[in-house]
Amino acid sequence: MNVKELNIQPDASIYGIFERLSYKIWNAVAEFVDNSTASFFKYEKVLKFYKIYKCRIDITYDDKKNTLTIEDDAFGMELNDFERAILLDQKPTDTSGRNEFGMGLKTAASWFGKVWTVESTQYGSENRYFAEVHIPKLRETKSNYVMIKKHDAKKEEHGTKIVISHLTKKIEGGRTLGKIKDLLRSMFRRDINSGKVEIYFNGEPLKFEPYKTLIFDNQEWKKQVNFSFVFNEKQFNVTGFVGILGEGSSGFSRAGFALFRRNRIVVGGEDDYYKPSAIFVQAQNPISHKLYGELDLDDFPINQAKDGFIWDDGLEIKFVDELRKNILDYIAIAKKPSSQLRPAIEETTKEVASNVSQEVNKSISHLNSINTGTAVLSIESEFVQNYEKKQDELIIDEKIYTDTAHGYLIHINKFDSINVQIIWTHIGDQYWFQKIVNGDVNWEVKININHPFFEPFYHNEDFKEVLEKFVISFLLASEYSSRTSDKDGYVLPSEFENHMNSLLKILSKKRG
């Protein structure tokens, strides 16, 4: 084993500063995937000559050991590249790849944890290199040196392994873990679907299922985009495609543009696609639920975290304006109600709406016939408190559209009435509707436009009103049925609502 001392000037304490960078966990993880894929694609022809046709990347998060490991079988590094991966301000010799800044490994690793190691061997080399960056020790000893250890390796070995320990950023909760996997599979969708790159997260292969495009009027509503414009005396080229989401794929979380650079998404991903208001208008506009696309912006400057473009100088406004001019026909189609784009189910939708409307009228009539004092039954119990606590835990990353708020004044009887404020939200499929009671006669009801039971009908304005009234009548009926039931037949309203939400979710999966 040989040991080499590497001077990491400037002062090693600067590595500790990276901990305060404004990374998001998925963007930090993506930095490692960028390095792995850049290594593979740069030497793809060489590897193919030796019958190596794909690259596997394993990302492993161990909560008990408090470690994050990223391992690949890409081309690997020899000493010069290995040193450059550790040193600051050392760009790769070829900056045309995804690791153009040469900062991703050290910034992301130092952001994640206090100690990180790198081990790599290049295909055909007989050397394997290993180094540890222990930030607390470097600070304590005021040392600017990292030891690089060289071991023997077989020529057929290749790849890089990074282990980060003493993590300062933990992946807590199934929701965060799920979001990381969703965004990674979306971000690197082209690599994954090419069959050349396999990404595993805690042993689970990440797959990306392309969205379905609308088939209407005997054509598939998807077209290629290719235009250029000049801004500040520089030409910018935009390529890719736009389309209209089809049956089973439409919805707020999937609509919008994925902005690519070097075949990797910079802006966009499940639930976070690019939706400039000049094109998509408002969240409730049909365009925000149907128009989508993938656009390549290879000429556009990017920030060092690779999670956004540097275009606040007016470049973004110019880009959106030019894009809009080139897709006016698709914007017009996206504005159309779904009933016009799906004529086969239009009559079914009307029939369902009519049936629901009749039931709503019956329910409202029944409520008006009840002669009782107060409109809301106040139940303070451990069960209700636990239920509400669980519901609060679910409301993470919830988007509330305040511009959709509107109210209903419902007269229960001659003396009593209830004010119901309706607000539309977006929060995956955790609930279809949720009630919040403010006092005895004021309710706030949230309706989730992304729930699988509701999403297929949100384009129909008449049906949205029916659904709102159905929700209100159901909630009122549950309150009164629970109040008027005898002791043995008592039904807890919050439990009834919880079961109803679950049943709606189950029924939605059986549709079609």
pLDDT in tens, 57-72: 999 999 999 999 999 9
Residue, of 443 and 97, whose pLDDT is higher: 443
Examine residue 456 and say whether the peptide bond preceding it is cis (omega within 30 degrees of 0). no
Pair (131, 225) in one structural domain: no
Pair (58, 82) in one structural domain: yes
CATH number at residue 111: 3.30.565.10
Pair (232, 282) in one structural domain: yes
What is the value of pTM for the model shown?
0.67
Q: Is residue 466 part of a domain?
A: yes
Query: Which pLDDT band holds residue 87 (cuts at 50, 70, 90)?
Result: confident
Q: Is residue 111 part of a domain?
A: yes
Closest C-alpha among 160, 89, 41, 8 to residue 304: 89
Task: State the helix-helix crossing angle for 382-394 and 493-509, rounded to 10 degrees.
Answer: 40
Pair (392, 459) in one structural domain: yes
Residue, of 283 and 261, whose pLDDT is higher: 261
Pair (393, 483) in one structural domain: yes
Q: Strands 215-216 and 219-220, how do they pair?
A: antiparallel
Q: Is residue 134 part of a domain?
A: yes
**Interval 241-266 mean pLDDT:** 92
Q: Please identify, among 297, 312, 336, the residue that sits at the C-terminal boundary of a domain.
A: 336
DSSP H/E element including 482: helix 461-484
Q: Is residue 473 part of a domain?
A: yes
**Interval 359-387 mean pLDDT:** 43
**Interval 322-328 mean pLDDT:** 96
> Are the C-beta atoms of residues 412 and 368 closer than 8 Å to each other?
yes
Statement: residue 151 has pLDDT above 60: yes
Q: Please identify, among 303, 336, 369, the residue that sits at the C-terminal boundary of a domain.
A: 336
Pair (180, 120) in one structural domain: yes
Query: Which pLDDT band holds residue 350 (cuts at 50, 70, 90)?
Result: very low
Pair (311, 439) in one structural domain: no
Q: Is residue 192 part of a domain?
A: yes
Residue 188 structural domain: 2-205
Predicted pLDDT at 251: 86
Statement: residue 504 has pLDDT above 70: no
Q: Is residue 303 part of a domain?
A: yes
Pair (138, 122) in one structural domain: yes
Q: Is residue 469 part of a domain?
A: yes
pLDDT above 70 as % of the chain:
70
Closest C-alpha among 106, 176, 175, 190 to residue 146: 106
Domain count, the chain: 3
Q: Please identify, among 205, 236, 253, the residue that sits at the C-terminal boundary of a domain.
A: 205
pLDDT above 90 as % of the chain:
46
CB atoms near residue 298 (< 10 Å): 14
Question: Terminus-to-terminus CA distance in the chain, angstroms?
Answer: 64
CA separation for the pair 47, 49 (Å, rounded): 5
Query: Which pLDDT band holds residue 388 (cuts at 50, 70, 90)?
Result: very low
Give Cβ neighbours of residue 486 (< 8 Å, ≥ 6 apart): none
Pair (399, 307) in one structural domain: no
Predicted pLDDT at 171: 86
Predicted pLDDT at 322: 97
Predicted pLDDT at 11: 61
CA separation for the pair 141, 122 (Å, rounded): 32
Looking at mean pLDDT, say which of 187-196, 284-293, 365-374 comes out highest. 187-196
Q: Is residue 210 part of a domain?
A: no
Predicted pLDDT at 176: 85
Residue, of 352 and 131, whose pLDDT is higher: 131
CATH number at residue 225: 3.30.230
CB atoms near residue 292 (< 10 Å): 25
Statement: residue 81 has pLDDT above 80: yes
DSSP state for residue 409 in the 8-state scheme: E
Pair (192, 256) in one structural domain: no
Predicted pLDDT at 284: 80
Query: Which pLDDT band holds residue 384 (cuts at 50, 70, 90)?
Result: very low
Rg of the chain (C-alpha set): 28
Predicted pLDDT at 79: 94
Residue, of 447 and 440, whose pLDDT is higher: 447
Query: Which pLDDT band holds residue 361 (cuts at 50, 70, 90)?
Result: low
Pair (352, 496) in one structural domain: yes
Closest C-alpha among 225, 232, 240, 244 to residue 287: 244
Pair (78, 145) in one structural domain: yes
